[in-house]
A and B are shown apart, each in its own frame.
Chain A
Amino acid sequence: MRNRLKVLRAERDWSQGDLAERIEVSRQSVNAIETGKYDPSLPLAFRIAKLFGLTVEDIFPQD
């Protein structure tokens, strides 16, 4: 799934590890989501959206 996670993270100058710590997952999870290899569950997607103060659709836009 296409997403803006990498851009949002870069805007805040966070490493994958920094983001992983904030949303309480492994760095591998952040990498897998960023590269579109793994689609997060709804609870995790909401957690990510809440962290960035955005909606889920803002971060995971539909094609």
Chain B
Amino acid sequence: MLRTPAWKHYNWRVLWLSLLYVLLLLSAVYGFRHRLISGPLAYAVAILPALPIIGIIGAIGRYLVEEQDEYVRMLMVRQTLWASGFSLSAATIWGFLESFGLIGRVDGYYVVIAWFFGLGVGGLVNRFTLGDGGC
């Protein structure tokens, strides 16, 4: 595990955003389950859990800007490229299978879950090709 100052800042941001995500998700689920929310407010509350996720994507971008170690930065860039390729490919395949009625519908936010999984795939690729799992 590489521990540059930028990586430590990134970890803190992701930790806080993850906690915020859990809080907002549980609040939204509670609100909808108990029918406490309706009308335009429902749209705002439904979007709330997405904001920390977008924040995490932003934190990755900020990490890439702040990281001073160019090799470590390259490892993360490779990981994000793998994540993007993996998630977009998975979404495209799933989309066609769904369009032809071969599989069931999946919520759109699974794309970002596939993207985060793709970061792990990218880390494995880094380990196998460069001998360095990176961040």
Binding site for B on A (CB under 8 A): 24-26, 28-29, 32-33, 37-38, 40-41, 44
Show 15 residue pairs from A and B whose CB-CB distance is below 8 angstroms, ordered by the A residue: A24-B68, A25-B71, A26-B2, A26-B4, A26-B71, A26-B72, A28-B71, A28-B72, A28-B132, A29-B70, A29-B71, A37-B132, A38-B74, A40-B70, A40-B71
Number of A-B contacts (CB under 8 A): 31
Main secondary structure of the interface of A (DSSP, over half): loop
Tell whether, in the assembled complex, residue B2 and residue A44 are in contact, meaning their CB atoms are under 8 Å apart.
Answer: no
Contact of A41 among B2, B4, B70, B132 (CB under 8 A): B70
Closest to B130 in A: A37
Binding site for A on B (CB under 8 A): 2, 4, 68-72, 74, 130-132
A24 cross-chain contacts in B, Cβ below 8 A:
68
Contact of A25 among B70, B131, B132 (CB under 8 A): B70
